[in-house]
Amino acid sequence: MKFYKNLHNTDLTPSKQQLLDAALILSILPHIFIVKPIMVLYIIASVVFLIFSKETKGRHLFIFGLFGGIALAFSFYETFTFVGLRKLSVFVSFVISLLFVAVVLQRLTKKINFYLLFSPALFLALSYFFYNTIMMLFYAITVIFCFLLLLLWHRMQSSFMAAFKMALSIFVFSIPSIVLLFLIFPRISFETKDFGFSASESIRTGHDGTMHIGSDALLVPSKRVVMEISFEKEIPNPQQLYLRGSVLYIDKTDRWAPLQEKLPDLSYKPKNNALAYKVTLYPHNKKWIYFLDHPLQAPQKANINNDYVVTSEKPVIKVMRYDGYSKLSNFIEEKTISETKEKYALKYNPIRDDELYEYMQTYDRTTGLMGLLKHFKNLNLSYSLKPSGIDLKDPIDSFIFGDKVGYCVHFASTFATMARMAGFPSRIVTGFKAEATNTYENYLVVKEEDAHAWVEVYLESKGWQRIETTSYAIKTQVQQNNQLQIKEEIQNPLLHKINLTYMYVRYTIQSWVLDYTRSKQMQLLKTLLEDIGAVLKLVAVFVVLIVFAYLLRQLSHQKKETHITYKTIKPVLKKLKKQGFIKEEHETMEEFLNKVYLKTDDETLLKIKNLYNQARYSDKKNLIDPFTNVVKLWLQ
C-alpha cells in the first residue's frame, strides 16, 4: 500500500542524477555479459564507492583512472595489437570498455555533462552489435520506453504514475507509426546478416556425416530444436516429413560413412509444383544443410550433389535461414547408377555378418524387394532407444540374433546389408523425421530427438526407393527416458501445446520481425496489390491500433468525478444530451446550465444549478437532500 502511495507521491521525484543512474544501469545490463570479469569488477567497485563515499577527491579519480586502465589492459591483453583491433568485434568490445571507464570517471565527479547524459543511448546502440535475438528486441523496446519515462519524470517533476501515464500514452501513440514504417520503409539490403558476433548463440551438435552403431551412439534424444520450418501452405503428410542429411555407403563395422569421392553436382531441376518452405537451421558446426526429401536446389554458398545431399561451403556456426524447394517423394529417379556408387552400394562382409549371410540364404530372390522386406520382418526385431547387447565388432549379427532390440541405425544397417546380400544396391540416409505432434498451423519444429536413419534401395534402371526400416519392427518399447521435461510433456499434452504455441509465436516474431527482408517486403506488397482482403485486414489493424491508442490515452488521463453532487446531476446531463444540449469538456456546470436556461427558460434548471453549487462547495451536508429532490422532480 505504501509502495502504491509512493507511486502517486509528487514529493518523491528523483533527482536528475538518480534518473541518469537508472538509465545507465538499464543500458549496461547486456554488456555485463560481454565484458571481461575484471571490467565487471571495476564497475562494481565504482558503484560501491559511489554508494559509500560522500565526496570524490582528485586522488580517488586517479585511483579509478589507473584501475580502469589496468582493467582495459587485462581485458584486451590477448588482442592488444592494432591487428586485433581491426576485427570489428574486438574493436567494439574495446570501445565499450573504454566507454565504461569514461562513464565511471565522469560519474565519480558527480557532475552531469552532455557525454554522460548521452552514454545510456550509446550503450544501447553498442549492445545491438552483440545480440540479434527476440530477447534483445524486447529489451530494446523496454529500454527506450524507460528512457522516455525517466526523461518525462524529470521534466514533469511529478509523481511516478503521472510520468508513467504520459510515457505510456506517447508510446502507444507511436505504435501505429512504428508498425507502418517497419512494413513500408524501403529495405535496400537484401538479406539479414549479423555483424559476425555470436555471443547469444550456442553451437549445437548434429550429424557428423557418419552413423555410429553403438547402443549409445544416437544423439542425446533431447528437445533441443535443430531447425524450424514454415510452409507456405499446409504441412504435408507426416509420412513425408523426412529431412535429408548425409548419404552413407561404406560399412565400417562400428559406423557407416559416406563415399570418399566427391559426387557430381545435381543437374538443374525445375521447381514447378515443388513444395516451398522456409527453414531456420540452428548452428551445428557441420556442413550439412537439411531439406525435405528430396531437395531441388541448394541455397546460396551451398552445393547439392546427385545424391541430393546439400552441404554448405563452410560449417554452419550461425543461425542459417534459407528457402527450400522439395519434391516430396519416397522415390528418387536415377536411371543409371555410377560404377563407384554401385560398387560401394553392393559391398558387404559375409564373414563378419556370417549369421545374417546364412539367414539370407533362405531368401528367395524371385520375390524381389517385397520378399526382402517380408524376410526382414520375419526377423521379429523390436524398436527401443535403449538397446542392449550390441557388439560393435559384430553389430548386425549381435542385433538380429541377440536381444533383437535396436533403433533406427540398427534397423537401417541391417536392412541395407540384407539388400546388398540380396543383390540390391543400397545406402543409408541419415537426417531427421519430423513428428506430426510438433506442428502448429503451418509451422514445424524439428528437434534433436527426431534424428533418424532410413535406407534407400536401388531399383534397376529406375532409381532409389526409400524404405522406412523401423516400420517393420514387431513392437516398440516404451521409451525409457530420464529427462523429466520430456516425460512431463508426454504426460501433459497441454504443456506440450503451450510450449509449441510459444515456439510458434517466437518463430513468427523471428521470421516476420527480426528476419524481415526486402523479399518479404515485396511479398507483402504483392499480396496487398493482389488481394483486397489483405488490404482491408491491414487497414483494420491500423484502425484498431489507433483507436486503442486513443482510448488508452483517454482512459489513462480521465479523472473520475466522484463527488456525490456530480453523481446526482449526471442523469440531468444525460437527459439534456438527449435534448441536444451537450456539456463541453471545458464548460463548468454553471456555464452549461446557464446556457441551457437561456435557450429553454426552464426555471428548475436554475434552481438545480444553484443547489448544485451550494451542495458542492459549501460545508453543509444537509444541502444534498434538497438538491437530490429537485433533480428527481425535474427528471420526472
Angstrom CA distances, 561 to 106, 550, 614, stand at 49, 20, 17
In angstroms, rounded to a whole number, what is the distance separating the alpha carbons of residues 272 and 26?
A: 52
> What DSSP assignment string belongs to 204-236?
PP---SSEE-STT-SPP----EEEEEEESSSPP
Choosing from 6, 41, 70, 191, the residue that interacts with other proteins (CB under 8 A) is 191
Shorter beta-carbon distance to other proteins: residue 190 or 617: 190
Q: In angstroms, rounded to a whole number, what is the distance separating the alpha carbons of residues 448 and 27? A: 36
The reply to whether 487 sits near other proteins by the rule CB under 8 A is no
Half-sphere exposure of 64 (CA within 13 A, CB side): 27
Report, in Å, the least distance between residue 181 CB and other proteins: 4
Shortest distance, position 117 Cβ to other proteins, whole Å: 10
Q: Among residues 393 and 559, whose Cβ is nearest to other proteins?
A: 559
570-574, Cβ contacts within 8 angstroms, sequence gap of 24 or more: 571/631, 571/635, 572/608, 572/631, 572/634, 572/635
Which residue from 192, 442, 481, 628 is in contact with other proteins, where contact means CB under 8 A?
192
How far apart are the C-alpha atoms of 6 and 9, rounded to whole Å? 5
Classified as helix, coil or strand, 443 is: strand
Binding mask of the shown chain, residues 78 to 117, with x at each position contacting other proteins by CB under 8 A = ----------------------------------------
Residues pairing with 304 in the sheet: 310
- What are the cell numbers at 615? 451542495
> Of the two residues 125 and 539, which places its CB atom closer to other proteins in the complex?
125
The span from the CA of 573 to the CA of 581, in Å, is: 8
C-beta of 184 vs 498, nearer to other proteins: 184
Q: Provide, rounded to whole angstroms, the least separation between the CB of residue 617 and other proteins.
A: 15
Question: Toward other proteins, which CB reaches closer, 377 or 557?
Answer: 557
- φ, ψ dihedrals at 230, nearest 5°: -120, 135
User: What burial class does residue 274 get, using C-beta atoms within 10 Å of its C-beta: 0-12 exposed, 13-18 middle, 19+ buried?
Assistant: middle
Binding piece for other proteins, criterion CB under 8 A, among 141-149, 282-290, 311-319, 604-612: 141-149
Residue in 517, 594, 604, 628 binding other proteins, rule: CB under 8 A:
517
The answer to whether residue 146 forms part of the interface with other proteins (CB under 8 A) is no
The interface region with other proteins, picked from 282-290, 298-306, 509-517, 523-531 by CB under 8 A, is: 509-517
We find the least distance from the C-beta atom of residue 284 to other proteins, in angstroms, to be 23
Considering only 495, 498, 513, 633, the residue that binds other proteins (CB under 8 A) is 513
If binding is defined by CB under 8 A, does position 274 make contact with other proteins? no
Which residue's CB is nearer to other proteins, number 517 or number 614?
517
* Distance of closest approach, residue 90 Cβ to other proteins, in angstroms: 18
Can you tell me the distance from the alpha carbon of 172 to that of 183, in angstroms, rounded to the nearest whole number? 18
- The correct pick among 95, 99, 148, 203 for binding other proteins (CB under 8 A) is 148
Alpha carbon distance 388, 399 (integer Å)? 9
List the grid coordinates of 491: 504426460
609/623 Cα distance (integer angstroms):
13
Backbone φ, ψ for residue 530 (5° rounding): -95, -30
Q: What share of the chain is helix, strand, coil (3-state, %, to 5)?
A: 55, 15, 35
Residue showing cell 589496468 = 70
Reading the block at residue 68, the C-alpha cell is 580502469
By beta-carbon proximity to other proteins, the closer residue of 546 and 606 is 546
**Chosen residue from 254, 342, 468, 515 binding other proteins by CB under 8 A:** 515
The interface region with other proteins, picked from 212-220, 275-283, 335-343, 512-520 by CB under 8 A, is 512-520
Q: Which of 26, 152, 379, 615 binds other proteins (CB under 8 A)?
A: 152
Binders in 121-140 for other proteins, by CB under 8 A: 121, 124-125, 128, 131-132, 136-137, 140
First to last CA, the chain: 44
CB atoms within 10 A of CB 260: 9
User: Please, which residue, 147 or 443, has the CB nearer to other proteins?
Assistant: 147
Q: What φ, ψ does residue 325 adopt, rounded to 5°?
A: -130, 120
Give yes or no for residue 188 binding other proteins (CB under 8 A).
Answer: yes
Length of the chain: 636
Total of residues contacting other proteins (CB under 8 A): 49
Amino acid at 268: Y
Question: Applying CB under 8 A, which of residues 25, 41, 141, 525 lies at the interface with other proteins?
Answer: 141
Which one among 36, 60, 187, 404 touches other proteins, defined by CB under 8 A?
187
Contact call for residues 100 and 67 (beta carbons, < 8 A): no
Candidates 52, 185, 268, 617; binder of other proteins (CB under 8 A) is: 185
Task: Supply the minimum distance, in Å, between the C-beta of residue 200 and other proteins.
Answer: 12
Angle at 79 between CA 75 and CA 85, to 5 degrees: 105
Task: Please choose, out of 92-100, 176-184, 262-270, 401-409, the segment that lies near other proteins by the rule CB under 8 A.
Answer: 176-184
Nearer to other proteins, 63 or 151 (CB): 151
Q: Does 502 bind other proteins (CB under 8 A)?
A: no
Binding to other proteins in span 552-591, by CB under 8 A: 557, 559, 586
The residue ranges that bind other proteins (CB under 8 A) are 121, 124-125, 128, 131-132, 136-137, 140-141, 144, 148, 151-152, 155-158, 166, 169-171, 173-175, 177-178, 181-182, 185, 187-195, 513-518, 550, 557, 559, 586
